[in-house]
């Protein structure tokens, strides 16, 4: 009996303890919620605007953002112990706002970043001389070193994944940031670590002034001219024209235009090249702006390029490359060999601000002459050909030569 009473008391105490634990848990949860709400109110202010309402009203959204930033700044001024760089705060605030568009091609650039961008577009900058891309894992990969560049001389190879720059981790970092870390003053050195075939390879490379030549050309067998376009940066249309005329003088009857790994550039340069190939008046490009307005770009000149044409593309041919290949394919001026292109079918405008910084903003989508969509889709080749990487045979180029014989 005594044991039964003890057991009964233990059960009562256990129940009491459980009730207390539940009450304590509820109290802690309520207290935590109150503290959290006070914390939120302290930082963000007591705005009664509904989020959905704000999202639908840009003017109210701007007001709320301003109030929120002011509240943050009040707290920073009161509590933050570090130094404040006002210009950096302004730049990063604008950058974050543009990033909120969730558009991979729209961006804000400071005056320095914009000047570096222009220098690269003109084919003049100080660095090590590599073309880069972001691979499927989100890491920066060397597309290829520029011929004769410090990178090529040091032994950097296509496919190398850049993991460290000056011992700073670059895994998952935006390619523009990686590029800015690599560039620097002429004569200085940069340390780069890459992953190649699951092994780390270190380089210490001296930065030099890099002159980028957008076009390479050569005569192939059977009077076939070969022109490779690495980019559509400023001046590449003139380089293309000079290369073609030189090949023609050497006896070229037909040509191969190689756009593999060409990630794009200036649309105006691309259309100037299309003008050299398409009959006057042919539609080259259709653009649609934010309001749904369509604009048709047509060839403005009589063509100078003669003979048959084959265009080479791959999965890294993007933007202006896709404009050119689609224009030639759909106007029946070229056959296309390789792999389906990347699928970037939107155009950005550059809006320069008073302090020299710029907003690069996606303002229109482009379509093929037959109004087929390119964005997120790409351009299909007439002949889908895989490279024979294992045996180091350019099967795509071989197919192009076969078609022109």
Distance CA 159, CA 176 (A): 18
Question: Is 319 annotated as catalytic?
Answer: yes
> Do the strands 383-384 and 335-338 form a parallel or antiparallel pair, or are they unpaired?
parallel
Please pick, among 329, 344, 360, 399, the residue that the annotation labels catalytic: 344
Which of the 8 DSSP states describes residue 279? P
Per residue in 332-383, pLDDT (tens digit) is: 999 999 999 999 999 999 999 899 999 999 999 999 999 999 999 999 999 9
What residue ranges do the domains of the chain occupy?
Answer: 2-77, 125-211, 215-404
Question: Is 315 annotated as catalytic?
Answer: no
Q: Are 401 and 220 in contact (CB under 8 A)?
A: yes
pTM reported for the whole predicted model? 0.72
Distance CA 329, CA 374 (A): 13
> Do the strands 283-289 and 294-298 form a parallel or antiparallel pair, or are they unpaired?
antiparallel
pLDDT score, position 234: 86
Distance CA 134, CA 113 (A): 19
Please pick, among 141, 272, 330, 335, the residue that the annotation labels catalytic: 330
Task: Give me the residue label for tokens 């256990």.
Answer: 14
Residue 363 structure tokens: 């303002």
Asked whether the predicted pLDDT for residue 36 surpasses 80, the reply is no
Asked whether the predicted pLDDT for residue 163 surpasses 60, the reply is yes
Q: What is the CATH number of domain 215-404?
A: 3.90.226.10
pLDDT score, position 56: 62
Residue 232 structure tokens: 């559509």
Q: What are phi and psi of 224, to 5 degrees?
A: -105, 125
Question: Is 344 annotated as catalytic?
Answer: yes
List alpha helices for 104-214, DSSP H: 111-121, 150-154, 175-182
pLDDT score, position 77: 93
CA angle, 228 then 229 then 235, to 5°: 135
pLDDT score, position 391: 87
Please pick, among 149, 317, 319, 357, the residue that the annotation labels catalytic: 319
Residue 84 structure tokens: 């404040």
- Candidates 322, 362, 357, 324; CA nearest to 117 is 357
Per residue in 302-313, pLDDT (tens digit) is: 999 999 999 999
Which residues are registered as beta bridge partners of 58?
none
Residue 37 structure tokens: 């709400």
User: In a 10 Å sphere around its CB, with 0-12 CB exposed, 13-18 middle and 19+ buried, how is residue 317 labelled?
Assistant: buried
Over the chain, what is the mean pLDDT? 85
Which residues are registered as beta bridge partners of 203?
192
The interaxial angle of helices 58-79 and 2-44, nearest 10 deg, is: 110
Task: Give me the residue label for tokens 């109004």.
Answer: 371
pLDDT score, position 140: 93
Asked whether the predicted pLDDT for residue 51 surpasses 80, the reply is no
Which of the 8 DSSP states describes residue 135? -
Which of the 8 DSSP states describes residue 278? S
Fold of 125-211: Pdz3 Domain (2.30.42)
Asked whether the predicted pLDDT for residue 50 surpasses 70, the reply is no
Which residues are registered as beta bridge partners of 181?
none
Which of the 8 DSSP states describes residue 368? -
Q: With cut-offs at 50, 70 and 90, classify the pLDDT of residue 242.
A: very high
Per residue in 107-152, pLDDT (tens digit) is: 999 998 888 777 766 666 789 999 888 888 889 999 889 888 999 9
């Amino acid at each position: 009996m005594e044991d039964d009473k003890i057991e009964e008391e233990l059960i009562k105490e256990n129940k009491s303890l459980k009730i207390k634990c539940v009450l304590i848990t509820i109290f802690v949860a309520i207290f935590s919620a109150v503290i959290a709400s006070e914390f939120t109110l302290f930082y963000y202010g007591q705005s009664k605007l509904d989020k959905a309402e704000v999202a639908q009203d840009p003017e109210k959204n701007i007001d709320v953002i301003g109030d929120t930033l002011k509240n943050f700044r009040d707290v920073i001024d009161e509590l933050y112990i570090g130094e404040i760089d006002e210009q950096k705060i302004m730049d990063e605030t604008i950058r974050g706002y543009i990033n909120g568009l969730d558009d991979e091609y729209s961006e804000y650039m400071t005056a320095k970043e914009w000047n570096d961008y222009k220098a690269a577009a003109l084919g003049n900058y100080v660095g090590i001389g590599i073309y880069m891309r972001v691979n499927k894992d989100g890491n920066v990969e060397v597309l290829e070193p520029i011929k004769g560049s410090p990178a090529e001389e040091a032994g950097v190879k296509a496919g190398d994944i850049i993991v460290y720059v000056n011992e700073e981790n670059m895994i998952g970092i935006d390619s523009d940031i990686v590029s800015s870390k690599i560039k620097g003053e002429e004569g200085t050195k940069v340390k780069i670590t890459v992953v190649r075939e699951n092994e780390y390879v270190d380089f210490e490379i001296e930065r030099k002034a890099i002159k980028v030549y957008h076009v390479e050309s050569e005569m192939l067998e059977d009077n076939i001219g070969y022109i490779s376009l690495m980019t559509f940066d400023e001046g590449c249309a003139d380089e293309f024209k000079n290369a073609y005329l030189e090949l023609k003088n050497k006896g070229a009857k037909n040509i191969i235009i190689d756009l593999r790994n060409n990630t794009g550039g200036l649309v105006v340069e691309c259309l100037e090249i299309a003008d050299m190939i398409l009959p006057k008046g042919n539609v080259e490009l259709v653009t649609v702006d934010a309001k749904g307005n369509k604009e048709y770009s047509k060839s403005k000149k009589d063509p100078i390029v003669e003979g048959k044409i084959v265009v080479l593309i791959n999965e890294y041919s993007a933007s202006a490359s896709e404009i050119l290949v689609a224009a030639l394919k759909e106007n029946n001026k070229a056959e296309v060999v390789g792999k389906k292109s990347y699928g970037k079918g939107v155009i950005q405008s550059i809006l320069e601000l008073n302090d020299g910084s710029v907003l690069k903003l996606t303002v229109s989508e482009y379509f093929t002459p037959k109004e087929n969509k390119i964005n997120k889709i790409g351009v299909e080749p007439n002949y889908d050909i895989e490279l024979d990487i294992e045996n180091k045979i350019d099967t795509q180029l071989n197919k192009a030569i076969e078609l022109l014989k």
